[in-house]
Amino acid sequence: MPKSTWQTGVKAGATAVVAGSSAGTLSWVAYSYLMSQATAARGVIGRNVAKPPEADGVYSPGVPVPERWLRTTRYDVHLMIFGDSTAAGVGCVSAEEAPGVQIATRLADETGKRIRLSTKAIGGATSRGLSGQVDAMFVAGPPPDAAVILVGANDVTAKNSIRASARRLGNAVERLRKHDCAVVVGTCPDLGVVTAIPQPLRTVVRTWGLRLARAQAAATSAAGGHPVALADLLAPEFLAAPDRMFSSDHFHPSAAGYELAAIQIVPVLATALGMWHGGPLPDLPEVSEAAESRKLSTRMTASLNRFLWRRDARRRSPGRLDDLLAIEEASASRAQRIAE
């Protein structure tokens, strides 16, 4: 994602942060600070220009290596991947790590079908690019049987309108559904777990992303698709092991991170195709509890609750206060380890 998208997002974010202030100096300080944080974050995250591994082909149950697709190659389900760099697999080292491959192989193993995988996703794309990707699909041939769309993070960093971004996504889903294509959309993840983005910029980005995810889910459902809330995907695993879950650019997922996405997407996709036999699907959370626990307001509330608890305990039973404090501190320590 180019530096300019971060600058655009921060300008709007700074405006929101200082909107309630009448002090011009404070506004300039807040704006300058967020801009410096964006520059620092870009220095840490960098820009991954590596081309994702080529992963298209036909995947058979129990066979990790795909068969090259030719017009005479037999397949049962045509799966197409749309979206941005996460959909394309930026951050992966080899083809089998790509999210499309992980979804296709799991779908093949689950259904016993031969899955043809085609990837239309483009790194750096926003919801504006979905229309062109769907157009390219129609040019290439008939619509697929199933589609997975992963998009949203670039809309956040580009500070695109939430309503317009969701509407564009809904239009893409509707076009695919008109051709009886089962569509699953992985909504914008909770960017509050990307610790390479410093605070308070991370809070600005996170709030925008969660609002976009909710709008994406509504637009997807209205168009006949199936949203998958990926907000909790990165936590607590990503917070507990960022070196393993993030790729070398500290922003895109690694193979392990993409695997988590595939695990949550495949049951919904198989259900949409009428091929799921794994039982009822769980309701996925829209907000990462681990990231939520790191918010300043959450930490302040927890601190106030501990103060009130100790005060009431002292009033009720002064002689047992030390024992109660020991129990409370042990519980708080365990909670902190989980959050970290």
- How far is residue 122's CA from residue 186's CA, in Å, rounded to a whole number? 16
249 is catalytic: yes
Contacts of 26 (CB under 8 A, 6+ apart): 18
Q: What is the DSSP track for 186-210?
A: EPPP-GGG-TTSPTTHHHHHHHHHH
109 is catalytic: no
Q: Pick the catalytic residue: 85, 127, 247, 254? A: 85
Closest CA to 196 of 242, 153, 241, 162: 242
8 Å CB contact between 258 and 264: no
Q: Pick the catalytic residue: 27, 76, 109, 249? A: 249
250 is catalytic: no
8 Å CB contact between 206 and 287: no
Q: Pick the catalytic residue: 145, 155, 252, 293? A: 252
- If phi > 0 it is left, if psi is from -120 to 50 it is alpha, else beta; for residue 213 that is alpha
> Would you tell me the crossing angle of helices 162-177 and 201-222 to the nearest 10 degrees?
30
8 Å CB contact between 129 and 83: no
The two structure tokens encoding residue 197: 């983005």
Identity of the residue numbered 169: L
Catalytic residues: 85, 249, 252
